[in-house]
Amino acid sequence: MKYTYQYKALPSTEQKLELNVWVRTCQYWYNRQLGDRFDWWERKVCQRAELAFERFLAGDSSGNRSGKPRFKSQSRYRSLVVEGAGFDLHSCSIGGKYLYIKVPKIGLVKVRSHRHLPNGGILKQLQFIKKNDGLFVNLRLEDSSVPVCSDDIIPTWDNSLGIS
């Protein structure tokens, strides 16, 4: 089972500057790929532009199209996804109020821990989001010990309750 927790990040000034450079780079490539539409499979950011264009062409469940994808300014492009290996979680603060996440090329990022992470979860993805009240981090965890629910029960008159 995959699940996501969101925490407030407390990066240092150098880490904030580095994250801003990364977000601006992703914004540049998103805008460039949206304009060019060539070699979209080379970068993760390109997949994001591809998904936006597919949503535009496909429309919603009722067949209505959404607005065409638009170029993103700095104020509209606010997130950065980091995937893959190289993440380490450290909880070495007094009382467990802070988590420290080791992110490649950034270092240890301090995160306010308002909820404990469950045991057995493996960190698969990290997303930094800039909001009005600060920088937040989404931790995407995967836990193989949690069973996946299956819909084996087919509703019939014998096993269903309701108002008639």
Q: For residue range 102-152, what is the model confidence (pLDDT) as tens digits? A: 888 888 888 888 887 777 778 888 889 998 888 999 988 888 877 777 777
Q: Which two three-digit tokens encode residue 128? A: 């930094």
CA–CA separation, 81 and 142 (whole Å): 16
Sheet holding 98-103, edge to edge: 79-83, 122-131, 134-142, 2-10, 107-112, 98-103, 88-90
Q: For residue range 48-92, what is the model confidence (pLDDT) as tens digits? A: 777 877 877 777 777 777 677 777 887 788 888 888 766 777 666
Phi and psi, residue 127, nearest 5°? -130, 125
Q: Which two three-digit tokens encode residue 14? A: 């150098």
CA 54 to chain centroid, in Å, comes to 19
In sign, the C-alpha dihedral spanning 48, 51, 37, 64 is: negative
2-33 exposure pattern, b = at least 16 Cβ within 10 A, e = fewer: eeebebebebeeebeebbeeebeebbebbbeb
Q: Over range 8-15, report the average pLDDT.
A: 91
Where is mean pLDDT largest: 30-44, 123-137, 149-163? 123-137
| DSSP codes of every residue in 73-132 | -TTT--EEEEESS--EEE--SGGG-EEEEEETTTEEEEEE-SSPPPTT-EEEEEEEEEET
pLDDT at 41: 45
